[in-house]
Amino acid sequence: MITDALVNGLVSLYTSQFVRGETAASYRTAGRALDLLPPGSALAGPAHFAVGASAVSLGRPEEGLRHFASAANLGRVPSLSVGSDPDVHGMAFAAHAHWLLGHDDDALASCNGAVALSRVSGSPYNVAIALAYASLTHQLRGDPAALARVVGELDDLCGRYGFAYYREWGWVLDGWCRGGAAGVELAQRGIDSLTAAGSLARMPYWLSLLADLADRDGRPDDARATLDAAAAGARARDDLWWLPEVLRMRAAYDDRDGAVARLETAVRLAAGHGSVALVRRCRHELAALGVPGSHVGPTA
């Protein structure tokens, strides 16, 4: 059918736009694909996944979760353009939305569920996706032991099958986990490879990990410059989900008044996203600066 061909083409376009970091454009393209679908279309799962993924990156985690749930409920219909099963991919991505919303137990359950489902899918690529997202989830949750375990399997799998992109995710996350000069080199290698390929999705997040490594390595000027680049990139590409955290990290290099102003901006932004986890981080920093009771945004 012409409609199915058009929808599949739009989901393919979404994939390219999203990976290139064209977040708002990818959301519009995915929404158009979803609007064109006739009832009962086999392409509904991939279309819902596409809308959900771009929504989370725009800072709309609740909206993203609704679409991921729809993708999962529609069953396993592999997307020819995305290359993954939308139920596996959606459950893996949903873990990040749950974490942002403050649902830590749900984030871990979604992460583990995606990995388990991927292992029975018969597709090594689905396993690589689930492991890559699980690695990121463990970093968000502050579980370096789980991160190290999963990222090691991811690296082996990507090396065996020649999977790029998620291989680079693993390099950055593994570098962050290792720390030191070797960790900086590995993380920089991953970021450079993603950038060279034009894969700019989540770049503010990757840069924030590199900045953290630089700070831990005693190079505050490099860390500050990297965070400034991350914030500018987030705004330029509408890759907004992690921007409050970038601002929180950047505030550490300001004087007190500047830090308070930057943190309050971060709180308002995170609250607008519904990102409870990031609001909490910012409020903690504000309290440490002697600014109690910032009642902006969600608390639970």
Whether 65 is covered by a domain: the verdict is: no
Whether 129 is covered by a domain: the verdict is: no
Segment 92-127, tens digit of pLDDT: 999 999 999 999 999 999 999 999 999 998 899 999
% of the chain beyond a pLDDT of 90: 84
Segment 143-169, tens digit of pLDDT: 999 999 999 999 999 999 999 999 999
Segment 211-232, tens digit of pLDDT: 999 999 999 999 999 999 999 9
Kindly report the three-state secondary structure assignment for every residue of 139-193: HHCCCHHHHHHHHHHHHHHHHHHCCCCHHHHHHHHHHHHHCHHHHHHHHHHHHHH
Q: How far apart are CA 58 and CA 65, in angstroms?
A: 13
Q: How many domains does the chain have?
A: 1
Whether 156 is covered by a domain: the verdict is: no
Does the pLDDT at position 300 exceed 90?
no
Whether 251 is covered by a domain: the verdict is: yes
Q: Tell me, what's the pLDDT at 75?
A: 57
Out of 70-79, 177-186, 247-256, 277-286, which region has the weakest mean confidence (pLDDT)? 70-79
Whether 296 is covered by a domain: the verdict is: yes
Whether 258 is covered by a domain: the verdict is: yes
Segment 189-209, tens digit of pLDDT: 999 999 999 999 999 999 999
Whether 183 is covered by a domain: the verdict is: no
Q: Is residue 206 a contact partner of residue 172, using CB atoms and an 8 Å limit?
A: yes
Domain that holds residue 266: 242-300
How far is C-alpha 81 from the geometric centre of its chain's CA atoms? 20
- Phi, psi angle pair for 112, to nearest 5°: -65, -35
* Residue 188: partners with Cβ closer than 8 Å, 6 or more residues away: 175, 210
Whether 268 is covered by a domain: the verdict is: yes
Query: pTM for this structure?
Result: 0.94
